[in-house]
Amino acid sequence: MLEAMARVDRYAGRGEEAFRRDELIQTWMVRHIQIIGEAARALPGAFRDRYRHVPWADIVGMRHVIVHEYFGIDLDIVWRVVSVDLPALRQQIEAILRELDRST
């Protein structure tokens, strides 16, 4: 998940205007949000239950929208995910990894 977020960051730094103007950047962002959703979906239920503060259902739900309604994707929502949700998710994932490192 962190790797996909880092890949999104490569182009998110160019700003919303570049995102809206460039279909390749849009596709890049959407693809990596899909990967993040796939990774979240693959996590064991016990893991997701342990970290209920992470919006796993929303992450997986976004993946479903991307996969099943590709031509209906709302770019406003994608940009909000990129600019607001992913930075918050990154902090949550990094905190979980630190916790797991301390416990081993």
- Best CA proximity match to 79, nearest among 10, 30, 22: 30
| Distance of alpha carbon 95 from the chain centroid | 16
**Among the options 7, 10, 20, 63, which is catalytic?**
63
20 is an active site residue: no
Residue 3 near residue 10 (C-beta atoms within 8 A)? no
- Other CB atoms within a 10 A radius of the CB of residue 99 amount to 11
Active site residues: 63
